[in-house]
Structure 1
Amino acid sequence: MPDMAALDTLPDAPHALPADAVLRHLQADAMGLTEAEAAARLAQFGPNRLPEAARRGPLMRFLMQFNNVLIYVLLGAAALTIGLGHLVDAGVILAVVLANAVIGVVQEGRAEQAMGAIRQMLAPHAAVMRGGRRLTVAGEALVPGDIVLLEAGDKVPADLRLLEARGLALQEAMLTGESVPVDKGIAAGAPDAPLGDRHGMAFSGTLVTKGTGRGIVTATGAATEIGRIGGLLAGVETLATPLVRQMDHFARWLSLLILLIAGLLLAFATFVQHRDFAELFMTVVGMAVAAIPEGLPAVMTITLAIGVQGMARRHAIVRRLPAIEAIGAVSVICTDKTGTLTRNEMTVATVALPEGRHVVAGEGYAPDGAITPPGGHLGGIALAAALCNDAELHCKAGIWGVEGDPMEGALLAFAGKVLPEAAAGWQRLDAIPFDARHRFMAVLNRGADGAVLVHVKGAPERVLNMCRDQWGPGGRSR
């Protein structure tokens, strides 16, 4: 068995090392680890899962909703109001406080569930080589040095240094924001290459869209790139929003002012006017309770709750109510790109034909949208887009999505806008899948009338070199 102590330090930049150097560093070979070696490394490095941050329990989350100066004042006001016998007023005050706490607990719980979903991004199973045999193991059982086999449709179970790549492409939008799958190879890159340019690596949680590959595990669990992101989320510093700071400042000064005035009135009436102290005390307490704006938290809570529900309808979960005010105060948002960073969608916007350009309306993958101007040879383009395609569109709860390559999904949506049943009646006889070496995809289809056609899509320079004529307003021309 290899010396396990030598694996205390994993490769710092495996993307910059040749594949054989990574194998040597991890004391592994192409036949994979033995079961004994895998068990020893699992005991050393731990399971391949993201650590779960410590969470506050439901009771603590509920109690923390009362950690506010104005809430303290309201609770004190409720106690004094009960002492004065005004039970209805006390009930209203307590209802406002409890409503604020319940809404806060619910929203915080939903947000923590959404943030915790990142832990589900690791693959549940993986195909590996162990002792020269191909096995399927649980994703948590992967260890540094394991040889993982990748196929189209697989989710990468850990960070891998690729040893083989045959037409391999990965969807890395979750890490880089790029909506287009990235072609992978085995060549080493620069040590300081950004994440999106590490073409010799396959990162945990990304999806294999096409091709096959083989890689060696270089990092598992929290040491992966997705684990690093989870660690950053766990270490986010909690900051008070402008609204919370203003309300806290207002509550402190208001409480101090009310107590000061109440004390002055009590002292003046007692020592100057010589009133009965017991009767006077209850009167001053009543005035102090009346001076507390118990309706203010209710108005603030209702307003923020309306904002939270509005954000939820747009699929944005707000962890705490006052954050709505902070979002409303934002004037500039800096991101590295628009749309694909969060939605990972592509849409056909323009179609260029010999007779001119056509503008395609609509968003996302919904096959709905007008084309301006209509007509022309759009039907032929739509037929090619629908048939020379391996993706599928689906609609769940009114939201359109794609299974497969986002670009092919955009072409399917375009085809649906031109010819809703473009692929009906056609049978695929053969196909040449897209490959980075020839840069095109071709399909052979037979129509319902027996006609046989070949449709091709790919890189413009590659497809144009394959063409002899073009079809335009005047018919076929060279």
Structure 2
Amino acid sequence: MKNWHVESKEEIFSYLKSSERGLSVKYAERKLKESGPNEIVEKREKSQIFIFLKQFNSPLIYILLVAMVISYLVNHVIDAYIILAIIIVNGVIGFVQERKAERAINALKKIIVSYAKVYRDKDLKKVNASNLVLGDVILLEQGDKVPADARLIEIKNFRTQESSLTGESFPQDKNLRVLDGDTPLGNKTNMVFMGTFVVSGQAKAIIVATGSRTEIGQVAESIQEIVHPKMHFEKKVTQLSIQMAVIASIGAILTFTIGYFFKGLGFIEIFLFTIASLVSGIPEGLPAILIIVLAIGARRMAKKNAIIRYLPAVETIGVATVIATDKTGTLTQNSLTVEKIVTSEDEYTISGDGWNPEGEFRNEVERVDALKIDVLKKIMLISVLCNKGNLIKKGKGYEIVGDPTEVALLVLSKKSGINKEKLSEKLIDDFMFNTELKLRASLIENRNEKELYSVGAFEKILDRCSYYLKDNKKTKLDKESKGLFLKQAESLAKDGMRVLALAYKNMPKKTESITKEDIDKLIFVGLVGMKDPPRKGVKESIEKARNAGIRVIMKTGDHKETAIAIAKEIGLIKEDFKVMTEEELNSLSKSNFNKAVRETDIFARVTPKMKMKIVQTLQEQGEVVAMTGDGINDAPALKKSDIGISMGKMGTDIARESSEMILSDDNFCSIIDAVEEGRTVFRNVRRTSFYLITTNIAEDVTIVTSLIMGLPLPLLPIQLLYLNLVSDGMNNIALSMEPAHEDVLNQPPKDKKEGILNRALIPFLVISVGLMVFATIPIFNYFLLQGLDKARTAAFVSMTMFQVFNVFNMRSLKNSLFKLGIFTNKWVIYSFIASLVLMLLVIYLPWISDLFQFDYLTVTELFSIVGIASSIFFIIEGYKFVRNKWRG
């Protein structure tokens, strides 16, 4: 891409074969055919068939497919169809969730700009923005969205808002000066860029880049080249699938070896045992359960304003070790608010939230009425009358029109109670904001008196003042007084505020217009300090993140001083903080760069390329990075991060497309809520996996033990499928609803190398499996005297009830159920009742019991088995008590 900002406009016209009068229509049409339309090429949307088939690309599904094929080959058709149904349901759930997310994103897409004003054949014409070509001369006015990258050739008080591209929150003053070759994107003041906004003034510009060759287009293309790292959840589920496949295979091989080589059973009989062992070892319901756990987590997150685009992100946010957050709009409200007023008489603090025109004025002692204090009243009048901004009420919020700085002054005046429409003062003439003078002025008439009001950069206004207002009288502005006001202004600026000065002067009654020569010998009235204030609750959320062992860093395109001021206010940095700019980072060696990334709290004036480099370095250091962003400049790093988090209100389409999570309220606090839910999801995945594995191993060991003892097969494959799908399934869904326990945000993130299965399971596995096996085998053996079907029925009831009681244990491997509260997860109670009812229906309804080959049990027999099975709850409760007491 050519460095257009270093060339003079004459050189650019010559190079692009254009002029200030623009291109001819014929030449523009020819160029359009050569270069293509001014559009960013979107990646082709995935077909619905591809999305559906993608759901089956999982080791767990492969295991189920093997089990299905084997069941079909040995003529267990019903078993095969049940497993097939599981696979299809799993695919449908995943497909529906992903398509729902895609539809939500498509609904958010908006065209960058529809039309542009361009000079063709010397005339100004309105054309479709996609038809713009290099060399076109365009006209830009207040409120326009820039249709392509262009070099400015003529300006009049021209300013743009480029926060979506550069991250800088304040509008940028533009000029025509030729710049240095190494000028950063945010400082290219003689250029305008596609997708940014014109906030004031007028300009002509020659287009130097269109479509994918623009800055925004380059970002979009770079996104396509970035390979998103595999999510933590996907890695752990793959690991779990392999572990389960190994367990199931060992059980099946062991069963076949013992039965065929040591017990001398016939091939068909031992094959039946082997299939039963394989079915018992495979957690057929696990894929669906995992999706349900994630879906429940996603639903809970959505209620807390965190919308999940990709289900595995639900859990990944819970293991994040670093949150790299944007400043504007995420930590702050993305609205300029006047917070301080300084006059010769006093200092005032103004409360309020964003663009909402409600707030109070207070000095150090008390609340004051701004319209009853002469100097404040004057400030309010200047704020509302020397102003072209507008504030429109839209639903529960507000929409601004014009320069955000002027709208902030308008909101200030509204807080005082001034109603512009009811004022007797009238605007006669307006001197629009001048980027060189850095001020604006208005001629106001009131009852045959005329005054000039002016607002601008504090140093520029003070240079034009000869007096200052004190006790409603003009007082000579001497060197000492001016120095004091400058010192006060600089103090506000150090606090990260944008500081403006307000002044006025009386004008002759016959004055009908004003020029820059009139803006002189003014009466200084006061200073106003405004900034983009922090969002409510951000400070507390950052503290929560620290308690949870998460490092929070700020990366922004804004200036270092502004970033530091906000970071101090929200508690992001302490006394020994470290801040670095991109320029400083680029001067470091690789080892020093790595050290800086490890230690720095704030990265200021950073470009998209540097943001991505920072994310990549953090990942190489072993961190799990959650990255927030709303602008085009954030998109590459969002995609590169472990979990990209974009903004729902202020975010751009490119940022949303590159993220896994969208904050519907654009609030950092929602990220911490999502972390809490993500950690709960991981715990629930672990709970459900532990529960399934415990029961599956118990079933497998029961089959192998019965084989060793020379007993018949205690449970048929179809009975095992019921246990794994219906009984386990319902209880697992109940476990997946387990709410967050109180300690979830008081612990560091899980080690990303730690699997779903860990050593904490071993004691519970030994106790649970031991009880299930050494109770079920004797029960089965006892009832064999009354027939094989009745013995299998008794074994089935035993295994079912052990599972039902064990679900209470699995709510926490650490705390007693009585400490958690029996009714804190009512779904477990519901699943207990449902499991019991369904078990009775399967046993006692004739046509169903025939299908499962069950026999009748008396009430006494049934309750005896239930009583034995309940022992698992009391024994594990006792184990928790002893272990917790031993550990202190």
The TM-score normalised by the length of structure 2 is 0.47
> Given the alignment of the two structures, is residue 425 of structure 1 paired with residue 422 of structure 2, yes or no?
yes
Q: CA deviation at 1:60?
A: 0.8
After superposing the two structures, state which structure 1 stretch, 100-109 or 135-144, moved more. Answer: 100-109
Q: Quote the offset at 1:156 in angstroms.
A: 1.5
Residue 301 of structure 1 is aligned with which of 291, 297, 310? 291
Deviation at 1:219, TM superposition (A): 0.9
After TM superposition, the structure 1 = structure 2 runs for residues 366-445 of structure 1, keeping only pairs within 5 Å, are 366-369=356-359, 372=362, 373-375=366-368, 377=370, 380=377, 381-419=379-417, 422-426=419-423, 428-430=426-428, 431-444=430-443
Is residue 340–residue 346 contact of structure 1 (8 Å, CA) maintained in 2? no
The one-letter amino acid of 2:420's match is: A
Q: Secondary structure at the match of 1:348?
A: strand
Deviation at 1:395, TM superposition (A): 4.1
Structure 1 Cα separation of the partners of residues 449 and 273 of structure 2: 96
CA deviation after TM superposition for structure 1 residue 292, in Å: 3.2
Greater Cα radius of gyration, structure 1 or 2: 2
The 1:320/1:336 distance shift into structure 2, 3 A limit, reads closer
DSSP-derived class of the 1:433 partner: strand
Aligned pairs (5 A) from 1:138-157? 138-157=128-147
Structure 2 alignment gaps of length 5 or more: 476-888
Q: Secondary structure at the match of 2:228?
A: coil
Deviation at 1:45, TM superposition (A): 0.8
The within-5 A match list for 1:212-223 is 212-223=202-213
The alignment of Structure 1 onto Structure 2 pairs a total of residues equal to: 460
Shift of 1:12: 0.8
CA distance in 2: counterparts of 1:150 and 1:106, whole angstroms: 39
Of all paired residues, the percent bearing the same amino acid is: 32
AA partner of residue 469 (structure 1)? Y
> 1:228-377 residue pairs with structure 2 within 5 A?
228-309=218-299, 312=302, 317-334=307-324, 337-339=327-329, 344-354=334-344, 356-369=346-359, 372=362, 373-375=366-368, 377=370
**Displacement after TM superposition at 1:142 (Å):** 1.0
Q: Is the partner of 1:390 in helix, strand or coil?
A: coil
Query: SS at the partner of 1:333?
Result: strand
Say which is worse superposed, 307-316 or 187-196, in terms of deviation.
307-316
| Residue 98 (structure 1) aligned with residue 92 (structure 2) | yes
Partner Cα distance (1:270, 1:159) in 2: 77
Distance 1:453 1:265, change over 3 A: farther
45-54 vs 267-276, which moves further: 267-276
Q: How far off its partner does 1:458 sit? A: 1.8
Question: Does the CA-based 8 Å contact 1:38-1:143 persist in structure 2?
Answer: yes
Q: Which sections of structure 1, spanning at least 5 residues, go unmatched?
A: 1-10
Where 2:322 maps in the other structure, the secondary structure is: coil
C-alpha distance in structure 1 between counterparts of 2:390 and 2:304, whole Å: 25
One-letter amino acid of the counterpart of residue 423, structure 1? K
Q: Which residue of 2 aligns with 1:18?
A: 8
Which of the residues 56, 60, 68 maps onto 2:46? 56
Counterparts of 1:340 and 1:201, CA distance in 2: 27
Counterparts in 2 of 1:301 and 1:388: CA distance versus 1, 3 Å: farther
Distance across 1 between alignment mates of 2:145 and 2:310: 33
Q: Is it true that 1:176 corresponds to 2:166 in the alignment?
A: yes
Contact residue 440 and residue 457 of structure 1 kept, 8 A:
yes
Instruction: Give, in angstroms, the shift of residue 153 of structure 1.
Output: 1.9
AA matched with 1:374: R
- In the superposition, relative to structure 1, how do residues 113 and 231 fare at CA in structure 2: closer, same or farther (>3 Å)? farther
Q: Return the alpha-carbon distance in structure 2 between the equivalents of residues 35 and 453 of structure 1.
A: 50
Cα deviation, residue 225, structure 1: 0.7
Measured in 1, the distance between the counterparts of 2:395 and 2:41 equals 33
Q: How much does 1:48 deviate?
A: 0.8
Task: Tell me by how many angstroms 1:280 deviates.
Answer: 4.3
Local SS of the residue matching 2:11: helix
Contact 2:32 2:131 in 1 (8 A): yes
Correspondence for 1:73 = 63
- What are the Cα deviations for residues 143-193 of structure 1, in whole angstroms up to 9, with x where unaligned? 111111222222221111111111111111121112222111221111111
- Specify whether residues 226 and 165 from structure 1 end up closer, same or farther in structure 2 by C-alpha distance, changes over 3 A only: same
1:395 and 1:54 map into 2 onto residues whose CA distance is 39
Secondary structure at the aligned position of 1:106 is classed as helix
2:129–2:147 Cα contact (<8 Å) kept: yes
| SS of the residue 2:152 aligns to | strand
Over residues 424-446 of structure 1, what are the superposed CA-to-partner deviations in whole Å (9 max), with x where a residue is unaligned?
A: 41364233322224333334557
Instruction: Say yes or no: does 1:35 pair with 2:33.
Output: no
Counterparts of 1:232 and 1:363, CA distance in 2: 38
Cα distance between partner residues in 2 of 1:95 and 1:321: 16
For residue 275 of structure 1, give the secondary structure of its aligned residue in structure 2. coil
Q: Deviations along 1:292-335, whole A, 9 cap, x unmatched?
A: 34454445434433443455567665431112333333333345
Of 289-298 and 220-229, the range deviating more from structure 2: 289-298
Q: Which amino acid aligns with 1:105?
A: R
Measured in 1, the distance between the counterparts of 2:84 and 2:144 equals 59
User: CA deviation digits over 1:102-125, x for unaligned, max 9?
Assistant: 2133224534665x65xx22x321
Q: Compared with structure 1, are the counterparts of its residues 391 and 289 closer, same or farther at alpha carbon in structure 2 (3 Å cutoff)?
A: farther
- Where 2:181 maps in the other structure, the secondary structure is coil
The 3-state SS of whatever aligns with 1:211 is strand
Residue 61 of structure 1: how far off its partner (Å): 1.4
Tell me the distance in 2 between the aligned counterparts of 1:296 and 1:352: 65
> Deviation of residue 345 (structure 1)?
2.8
- Helix, strand or coil: the match of 2:467? coil
Secondary structure of the residue that 2:368 maps to in structure 1?
A: coil
Distance of 1:385 and 1:160 partners within structure 2? 34
Q: Is the 8 A contact 1:241 1:325 kept in 2?
A: no
Q: Which 10-residue stretch deviates more, 211-220 or 315-324?
A: 315-324
> Is it true that 1:124 corresponds to 2:118 in the alignment?
no
User: Cα–Cα, structure 1 residues 451 and 477, in superposed 2: closer, same or farther, change >3 Å?
Assistant: closer
Deviation at 1:352, TM superposition (A): 3.1
Per-residue deviation, 1:270? 2.8
Question: SS at 1:328's partner residue?
Answer: helix
Letter in 2 for 1:107: A
Mark the CA change 1:249 to 1:393 in structure 2 (over 3 Å): closer, same or farther. Answer: same
Secondary structure, counterpart of 1:56 in structure 2: coil
Contact 1:179/1:406 (CA < 8 Å) preserved in 2?
no
